[in-house]
Amino acid sequence: MEKTSDPRIPVVSLRGITKTFPGCVVANEDVDLDLHAGEVHALLGENGAGKSTLMNILSGMVRPDRGELLFEGKRWNPRTPRQAIERGIGMVHQHFMLIPSHSVAENIALGLKGLPLFLPARKIEGRIREFSARYALDVDPNARVWQLSVGERQRVEIIKVLLRGARVLILDEPTSVLTPDEIDRFFCILGRMKNEGKAIVFITHKLGEVMEVADRITILRKGRVTAHMEASEIRRMGTAARHELAFRMVGREVFLSIGRDRVERGEPILSVKDLRVFGDRGRETVNGVSFSVHRGEVFGVVGVAGNGQRELVEAVTGLRPACGGCVSLHESAGTGTECAYIPEDRLHMGAVPDLTVTDNSILTTYRASPFSKGPFLNIPAIREWGASLASRFNIAASDLNAPARQLSGGNLQRLILARELSRNASLLVAEQPTHGLDVGSTEEIWKYLLDQRRSGAVLLVSGDLSEACELSDRIGVMFKGVMTIVEGPFTEEKSREIGLMMTGLR
């Protein structure tokens, strides 16, 4: 990669960036940021703090109201994403920009220069495999995107950006669905990118990762910069560093672990016996799995993306037929037999983005009383219900009649969780419930999950091993469609053992 002529000059500088959206929502206010070649710059903040808006401005997707951008010291005004890409700026978004019906190769070929007019995807397959091997990002060029897990789609996005020759890489929550071993390998990849002279923006909510890989840190709160810090300064603080970062992000003390009350394990609520499920590619991805989830427990399921967790959840929730075995949800006094479900794709499966916040709050109950009267909806009751949920679950929305897509990731997740918990189901299936959420939102979601454990049970599917160990009473480790159950409590040593099991090394 070609480096800047003067290493003291940032590759990109943002000066006084201000952006306000309709409804007087201030996303960024007078923000300054410098990105240097050969450096990892961590960008921290709560959901809704303005991180994504700032990066969308840098990548040409949003234009600022005020402020300026400098590229290698010269004024630059990207009006389109293509102009940013041509300058070597690539962004891997938290909500991926992929076409589900197209193959991996077809998605990567879109907009890529130098490809033939006919069969461009076939030409790119070899380069995809080359980059996959180089950066340990295992993907099948011929797989359809809709067949891939969230973790696999993330790998496609990273390869797409690298193949376009990005000089500045913006990575939004890149480790959120990786195992500890995969995260270690990913950090090696970041080190290689740094040595190649790339400027890397690392957006994450995992504070331990920030201290491990970042060179500099910028923290946003409510659209404004609250701190520019050298990572070495944070590391010198030792064990107090995470609490200091969390406090500057949220503005209050945040508990980075959570106390779990002792709850007596009761009768089975969910029983899964010899379950076999085929995946979208026609292969058996769940191979004879058996387990039970009891009242009073959180049963965690962990594994590297693509090892059958998604198909397992879809079979349990009735979204995918099983080819063998059975799933039984048992009657429980005081609750219904149905299960509540929080899907991993909150934007497209968990909500209808173009419907209002209030309408999304009744998606699974709109036919029940008091929300309907015969064939007609009871609009006053629905509005009252939506306002009640927003108040009880701290859903920050400027207008409950605005489309749900305008909510931040954390507030959208609270909305889905509020809707599902209010169904009073005996079992809550929570799939990646804190994916991409800040430390404050994660703390709240954890409390809600443990509250459900007191009254029923939780089947927790998480790509974050530390989260699974923090919340679970037992953990089922998935590898190549087979589950191995590990009993808690989960010490640091046992957590490392589970990480190895996830990769097939145990």
CATH number for position 324? 3.40.50.300
Three-class HEC string of 180-241:
HHHHHHHHHHHHHHHHCCCEEEEECCCHHHHHHHCCEEEEEECCEEEEEEEHHHHHCCHHHH
- According to the model, what pLDDT value does residue 2 have? 45
* Cα 138 to Cα 5, 129, 131, 242, 483, distances in angstroms: 35, 8, 9, 32, 22
17 and 31 in contact (C-beta within 8 Å)? yes
Instruction: Give 91-149 pLDDT, tens digit per residue.
Output: 887 667 788 898 888 888 887 777 766 767 777 888 888 888 877 777 888 888 888 87
> Which residue in the block uniquely carries the two structure tokens 């989830």?
293
Torsion sign over Cα 201, 202, 205, 209: negative
Question: What is the C-alpha to C-alpha distance for residues 331 and 107, in angstroms, rounded to an integer?
Answer: 46
Q: Is residue 234 part of a domain?
A: no
- Cut 0.85: pTM above it: no
Asked whether residue 457 is assigned to any structural domain, the reply reads yes
What is the mean predicted confidence (pLDDT) over 306-330?
Answer: 92
Quick one: 104 exposed, middle or buried, by C-beta within 10 A (0-12, 13-18, 19+)? buried
> Is residue 3's pLDDT more than 60?
no
Spell out the alpha helix ranges (H) of 357-426. 357-360, 379-392, 409-421
Domain that holds residue 433: 268-335+424-502
What one-letter code names the amino acid at 205? H
> Of 64-68, 105-109, 209-213, 366-370, which has the strongest mean pLDDT?
64-68
Mean pLDDT of the chain: 85
Is the per-residue pLDDT at 42 higher than 80? yes
Which region among 228-237, 290-299, 335-344, 448-457 has the lowest average model confidence (pLDDT)? 335-344
411-421: pLDDT as tens digits: 888 899 889 98
pLDDT in tens, 375-414: 888 999 999 999 999 988 888 877 898 888 888 777 888 8
pLDDT value at position 232?
A: 83
Residue 346 domain flag: no
9 token code pair: 């000059």
pLDDT in tens, 335-373: 444 789 999 888 888 899 999 999 999 998 888 888 888
Asked if residue 328 has pLDDT above 80, the reply is yes
Cα of 75 vs its chain's centroid, Å: 34
Please report whether residue 443 resides in a domain.
yes
Phi, psi for residue 449 in degrees, rounded to 5 = -65, -40
Domain-located, residue 201: no
User: Do 54 and 35 contact (CB within 8 A), yes or no?
Assistant: no
Across residues 152-159, what is the average pLDDT?
Answer: 82
- Region 171-195: mean pLDDT is 77
Cα 87–Cα 91–Cα 93 angle in degrees, nearest 5: 160
Better-predicted residue by pLDDT, 456 or 192: 456
Number of domains the chain contains: 1
DSSP string for 54-72: HHHHHTTSS--SEEEEEET
Q: Is residue 319 part of a domain?
A: yes
Q: For 227-267, write each residue's pLDDT tens digit.
A: 898 888 877 777 677 777 888 887 776 665 676 777 888 99
